[in-house]
Amino acid sequence: MNEIKNDLLLRVLRGEQTERTPVWMMRQAGRYLPDYMKLKEKYSFFERCQKPELSAEITIQPVDQVGVDAAILFSDILVVPQAMGLEVQMLEGKGPLLPEPIKTAKDLNRIYVPDVNEKLGYVFDAIKLTKQELNGRVPLIGFAGAPWTILCYMVQGKGSKTFDEAKAFCYMQPELAHQLLQMITDTTIAYLKGQVKAGADVIQIFDSWGGLLGPDDFENISLKYIRQMVSALKEDVPVIIFAKGAWHSLQSMAATGAHGLGIDWCIQPEIARQFAGYKVVLQGNFDPAKLLSPIPVIESEVKKMMNAFGSSKHIANLGHGILPNVPVDHARAFVNAVKEFQIQK
Ligand code: CP3
């Protein structure tokens, strides 16, 4: 494999002190970039995911145009339910739709733990091509959804503020729910190992809906399965867990042995550090909506954030994905403010 020139992210995740804090943005490959919007006119969402040349091109756009210290593969967490045999549509302006969600034991017979090389080989091809085209400029982050977040979509069938049907499924049919969570976990472990084999340098697990569960449910329904994933991967690759809203469980997430933990903007970095302990790297936590502020405000807010995290064991990021209406120069101002903060020290 070619050597990585800007390896700040990898060094921080290894626990090293670096000359400055690395920065990237969740959902950086996508809708706020005009070049992405041009590709959108020509190809459907899953076409963009499935054609390695398109995925690689979109993955690299923010590296060239915004100056982030890492690339994250352009794909989606919902390629996993798709590979398990469920239909997934992406509706313009509406988000995901799974027309035949899982509700009963009978539904569970429609899905399976697939051969990931057969069903998701296109993702591995996209990773190989992206690595070639990045040519060692920055590391490449691979990812998957946490089993609970994937179950949310497989059962609810679409986005939701509460995912009440997914929760009801877990509470009314716990055995079935755990069977489904284990199937997702087994698929995802094989999928992420494939990503690492193809060249992903870091893995991030997105538990976007982890914060909908109370602490006990988070342990039983979500973290139990994330723990299996981290155990299966952590010797081979640095792993970051981002469980949005699940700040109450930072201590148990750190105990999984994950190298990094993402936090959102609803917890102070100092408090997150106390909960997570002093070994793990913290990633975050700029409010994505604050990128809609005037640039001088973005700059001063970034300074506040950087001071709160301190100069080590931190990856600067947003507290959730970048919003589609953020002007590109505001995204760039965020990245530059992080980079410059170091120079002023
Ligand atoms: O981070 C990146 O830039 C890499 C690409 C990426 C996408 N989705 C592309 C995408 C990643 C890491 C994801 C993860 C993802 N997908 C999550 C977890 C992260 C999070 O934001 O919480 C979730 C919950 C999904 C499921 C999903 N995909 C939803 C709910 C939607 C619709 C709402 C939205 O964000 O647009 C998508 C569609 C999607 N995935 C788009 C992109 C760029 C936008 C659709 C389009 O451009 O046509």
DSSP annotation of 343 reads H
According to the model, what pLDDT value does residue 222 have? Answer: 98
Residue % of the chain over a pLDDT of 90: 97
pLDDT in tens, 289-320: 999 999 999 999 999 999 999 999 999 999 99
User: pLDDT class for 330, splitting at 50, 70, 90?
Assistant: very high
Ranges of each domain in the chain:
8-340
Least confident span in 34-48, 68-82, 313-327: 34-48
Using CA positions, which residue lies closest to atom 46 of ligand 1? 45
According to the model, what pLDDT value does residue 345 have? Answer: 47
According to the model, what pLDDT value does residue 27 have? Answer: 97
Residue % of the chain over a pLDDT of 70: 98
According to the model, what pLDDT value does residue 238 have? Answer: 98
pLDDT at 232 over 50: yes
Q: What is the whole-number distance in angstroms between the Cα of residue 275 and the centre of ligand 1?
A: 29
CA separation for the pair 44, 34 (Å, rounded) = 16
Using CA positions, which residue lies closest to atom 34 of ligand 1? 95
User: pLDDT class for 2, splitting at 50, 70, 90?
Assistant: low
Using CA positions, which residue lies closest to atom 30 of ligand 1? 95
Q: Which residues have any ligand 1 atom within 6 Å of their CB?
A: 26-31, 40, 45, 72, 74-78, 90, 95-96, 143, 159, 206, 208, 320-321
Helices (H) and strands (E) in the chain, counts: 16, 9
Q: What is the whole-number distance in angstroms between the Cα of residue 274 and the centre of ligand 1?
A: 31
Q: Ligand 1, residues 26, 27, 35: which to mutate, most atoms within 8 A of Cβ?
A: 27
User: pLDDT class for 1, splitting at 50, 70, 90?
Assistant: low
Using CA positions, which residue lies closest to atom 2 of ligand 1? 27
Q: What is the whole-number distance in angstroms between the Cα of residue 76 and the centre of ligand 1?
A: 6
Q: What is the whole-number distance in angstroms between the Cα of residue 320 and the centre of ligand 1?
A: 11
Using CA positions, which residue lies closest to atom 31 of ligand 1? 95
According to the model, what pLDDT value does residue 18 have? Answer: 96
pLDDT in tens, 10-35: 999 999 999 999 999 999 998 999 99
Q: What is the whole-number distance in angstroms between the Cα of residue 94 and the centre of ligand 1?
A: 12
According to the model, what pLDDT value does residue 257 have? Answer: 98
pLDDT at 288 over 50: yes
According to the model, what pLDDT value does residue 67 have? Answer: 98
Exposed/middle/buried for residue 17 (C-beta within 10 Å: 0-12, 13-18, 19+) = exposed
pLDDT in tens, 97-119: 999 999 999 999 999 999 999 99
Q: What is the whole-number distance in angstroms between the Cα of residue 27 and the centre of ligand 1?
A: 7
Using CA positions, which residue lies closest to atom 36 of ligand 1? 95
**DSSP H helical segments within the chain, as ranges?**
8-13, 34-42, 45-50, 52-65, 79-83, 105-108, 116-134, 147-156, 164-172, 174-198, 215-217, 224-233, 250-254, 269-276, 295-309, 328-344
Least confident span in 40-49, 145-154, 243-252: 40-49
**Is the CB of residue 248 less than 8 Å from the CB of residue 215?**
yes
Q: What is the whole-number distance in angstroms between the Cα of residue 278 and the centre of ligand 1?
A: 31
Q: What is the whole-number distance in angstroms between the Cα of residue 31 and the centre of ligand 1?
A: 9
pLDDT at 343 over 60: no
pLDDT at 191 over 60: yes
CATH number of 8-340: 3.20.20.210
Using CA positions, which residue lies closest to atom 4 of ligand 1? 74
Q: Which atom of ligand 1 is nearest to the CA of 78?
A: 26
Per the prediction, the chain carries an average pLDDT of: 97
The contacts of residue 26 (CB under 8 Å, 6+ apart) are: 72, 242, 262, 317, 318, 320, 321, 322
According to the model, what pLDDT value does residue 342 have? Answer: 67
